[in-house]
Every structure is written in structure tokens, then in C-alpha cells.
Chains A and B, each alone.
Chain A
């Protein structure tokens, strides 16, 4: 499974939905799981974004579908960044794991 960081910002409609139905936070996680991915970390944050989600998905295609499905509802805007653990990236750069030079 690959890891992705999804930075999301609520739209006006999203704020209204969440205010009326806070349980939507958990429902979205279940929907993500039904599309073949898993939310491994989720934070409500103050600043430029409203939520930071750590998601594990099998492929870029699955992740792209999730981002599209969530964005199409008009309640959030998402920025999805492929991620890998720093320790793994350092190993790769040092040629200790596949992908290194």
C-alpha cells in the first residue's frame, strides 16, 4: 500500500453540512475504506487547511478516484500528495532499498 497525505479545506457547503451532521466525519472514512483505501491518521487543524488525512491506498488510480469522489460532492477541496516515510526515503537515497541509484 502506498501512503498519501490529503490536505482538505471545507467549502461553505461543507461547513454547513458538518455543522448539521458532525457524524459525517466518520462516514467519509467508511466511504474511503469502501473504495479500497484506509485512513490511518486524521487531524482537524488550524491554518491554511481544515483537515490533514493520512491515507493508505493500493495505487495512484485508487487514490485519484477517492480524491475525485470526495471533491465532486462540493463540500471539500482536496490536495493529495504522495508520501513515503522519511526513513524509507533516506534508505532509498542511500541505495539501501529499491528505487535508489
Chain B
């Protein structure tokens, strides 16, 4: 999600209210969170401004909407500043700045053959190093899937995409693609091999997603499905740190209904212990990838209904796994 910095100067009545009831100072946080924003950190300041809040919001509309409510309420002055990922900023100010992709050549036969040859370098080596061992079950569910499909998984670790791709049957692995943040993985002019956009498109089979890009983010996955390629999506949108699955986004449902393809859920377990969110360290240990029976939706299915069905399928396994551990599904 894009980040924003909000500087606030409170009005005199708001300051009087805060003196009478200091908890009223949490108002800015509550106002932002009521508009789906996530406050990363907030500070009380001494000086030109009274309050500094750094938060993430789904898009600029939500951010400004939240700040508007805030401004009308208790503040003399608010200054909201969209914040840019520093890596992107650094690359933007060089001559090579900007993002590239998607690369449609990634679905051509030569690209698939090279990807197969590079599979150890791309993902398998990381899986072998981290997962001791990796238990894969439910692959037989792909027998019912003819043609392209959408594979969805729960998301708790950076290892999820690598493990899920490694666990897929070769037939699906041969031609499946996943989205990756454009402003991190598809920046021109990066020095490291794995950060090169061509490497991402060719070896990792990813395509760029512009954060906050809305429904346009589905254009390329739709094109992939129309070309007979499968798509891998984590419908929670970001890595979850809670014991519960996060709210699912509607992207997989829209794609499944419009393209008429099956959705194969995959429950990943144990990976958050191997590399939790926020950690760069990998602690080797057991991990599980369990594929569930495919779900199919006809064109008359409502998108929320399809999203609910996908969520329920994964959540049923998740709740059992939380109660009983991996024996619940393996």
C-alpha cells in the first residue's frame, strides 16, 4: 500500500479537549483507520506541528478522504504528503529511472524452456535451504483442471511464492505467472541480477503490479489467461501477521468469473516460522503446501460470493491447522 505522511496542527478547542481527555489525541489514528488506512507510527510534536502520523492507505482517495474528515473535525491545519519508496526515489533520480514491463515474451516457448533450466537458481535452491522438509499434498486435485487456472494461497512469508511455485505439478509450473510490486522488482538500472526486470519476467515468471493501480492491475493477468497461461495470486494482498486470514481481495474472483477458469486454493503452513514478515533471516524447518479441490464459478456468480467461497475453502483448513497443527490436512 502507498504510504503518506500527515502533519497536523490542532485547533484551540481540540487542544482544550485533549487536556480534558488526553485519549482524544488518538482521534487522528481512529479517523484514518476508519477509512481503511493503517497507521505505521504516530508522534506528538513540539514546534511548528502538533502531530505527525505516518500511515499506509489503499489509495490516494482513501488517504485524502480520511484527512478531510480529520481536517473538518479538530485541526487548524493538516498537511498530507504522499511518500515514495526510497529505492524507487533513488532510481527515479538516475538516468535509468522508472519501471518496465510486463514482458509479453515471458509466455513464449523459448522463455518457458529457459525458465525450466533456471528453476534451481530461481526458486528451488531457496526452498531446499529453508524447508527441512517440504511436505506437499493434494497435487492430484489438478487432474480435474483442464487448461489454465488461478492458484491462490494464504500469505505470511516472502517464501510463500517460491514454495508454492516449487510445489506445483510440472504441467502447471511450466506456464504460471504471478504479480510483483513494480516499484520494487521492475525498476530499470538495478545492479543485482535478481533485481533485473528481465530476470523477474524470465526466471521468476512475475509481472509488474503498480501499487494503487486499481482494476488496471487485472489487465495483464486477463491477457495471460486468454493465452492459456495460469496465474498465481495471494488474495490477502500482503503478508498477514495475524493468526487469522486477512480479508481477501476480489481480483481472483473477477478473473475466474470473466475468464471461466478454475481456482485452486493452496494452504501454506509453517513458512511464517521460517521467515516471518519483517525478518531477513531464514530459520530452516518443516513446511507444508496443501492443494485443495478446484473451485469453479459460472458467469452469473456475484464477485463477493466467489471471493467468499475462496476464502471459506482456505479458512476451513486454516482453522483446523491452527487447532490441530499440520496433521489437520497432511
Chain A interface (Cβ within 8 Å of chain B)?
Answer: 3, 5, 7, 18-19, 22-23, 25, 41-49, 52, 54, 79-87, 89-90, 93-94
Contact = CB atoms under 8 A, between A and B. Distances in A.
A41 B89 CA distance: 15
Contacts, number: 96
Contacts of B54: 41, 43, 52, 54
6 contacts: A22-B90, A22-B94, A25-B86, A45-B82, A54-B41, A79-B47
Contacts of A83: 43-46, 52
Given A85-B41, A86-B25, A45 B94 contact: no
Contacts of B49: 81
B42 interface: yes
Contact of A25 (B18, B52, B79, B90): B90
B276 to A, nearest CB: 20
Contacts of A93: 18-19, 22, 25
Contact of A43 (B3, B91, B93): B3
Given A41-B41, A43-B54, A84-B44, A52 B23 contact: no
Nearest to A79: B48
Contact of B46 (A42, A46, A52, A81): A81
Contacts of B81: 45-49, 52
Contacts of B3: 43
A75 to B, nearest CB: 14
B94 A90 contact: no
A81 B83 contact: no
B172 interface: no
Given A18-B93, A85-B42, A86-B43, A45 B26 contact: no
A79 B7 CA distance: 13
B275 interface: no
Nearest to B43: A83
Contacts of B23: 90, 94
A22 B19 CA distance: 45
A54 to B, nearest CB: 7
A44 B86 contact: yes
B43 A22 contact: no
A20 to B, nearest CB: 9
Given A54-B41, A79-B47, A81-B49, A42 B84 contact: no
Contacts of A48: 79, 81
Given A43-B86, A48-B79, A90-B26, 16 more contacts: A19-B93, A41-B54, A43-B83, A43-B84, A44-B89, A46-B81, A46-B82, A48-B81, A80-B47, A81-B48, A82-B47, A85-B41, A85-B42, A87-B26, A89-B22, A90-B25
Given A46-B81, A46-B84, A81-B49, A86 B29 contact: yes
B82 A86 contact: no
Nearest to B97: A22
Interface in B67-112: 79-84, 86, 89-91, 93-94
B282 interface: no
A84 B29 CA distance: 15
Contacts of A25: 86, 89-90
A41 B56 CA distance: 14
Chain B CB within 10 A, most for which of A52, A84, A86, A94: A86
